[in-house]
Every structure is written in C-alpha cells, then in structure tokens.
Amino acid sequence: MEDVVYLIEKSTKQVLSDKINRLTLIILICFGILLFHLLKLREEVKAISNHQKETEQKVDFRYFNTTRSLQDIFDVEIETKQGRVINSTKTNR
C-alpha cells in the first residue's frame, strides 16, 4: 500500500514539475469552476422564468385598457411635464 501512495506522490510531483502541466491543471480547475457557476446561473434563470410565468397567469389583463387613454376617458388634457390637468370640459358633480 505504501508503494502505491509513494508512486502516486512521485508521479504527481513529476507532472506538476513541468510549467505546461501546471498551467493546464490551473486552466482545467478554472474551467470547472466556471462550468459550475454557469449551471447554477441556468437554474436560477429557469426559476425566475417560472416565477414570471406564474405571475403573468395571476394578472387579470381585462383591467388594463390600453386602447384608450385617460385624456379620452375623462375628456381632459394632461400636461406631461408637471402632470397637471389643463382643460376639463366635464363638470364636477
């Protein structure tokens, strides 16, 4: 058993003594870390996408009438810079 451990240690020292082998090992480790983080990011994006789909299903879009503006509905003009009502032709009740 000690011979096997000694052989592994000797082989590892021999491999890591070469600069190219050390650089290759560092690149492989960095690539592994990057791959791990990309997989986690992919899972998070899927979770966010599923949450967004659930939220869209809960929203009742009939309350969002995009074909008419407040100016058309209430027959007023709205100043967009300060948000004030300029002309109101309807009377307050």
Mean pLDDT of 43-72: 77
Mean pLDDT of 4-8: 88
Domain residue ranges of the chain, discontinuous segments joined by +: 2-63
Give Cβ neighbours of residue 25 (< 8 Å, ≥ 6 apart): 16
Determine the pLDDT at residue 93: 45
Global confidence as pTM: 0.47
| pLDDT tens-digit series, residues 12-39 | 888 778 888 888 889 999 999 999 999 9
Mean pLDDT of 75-80: 77
Using 50, 70 and 90 to split pLDDT, how confident is the model at 63?
Answer: low
* Helical (H) or strand (E) element with 85: strand 85-88
Give Cβ neighbours of residue 89 (< 8 Å, ≥ 6 apart): 75, 76
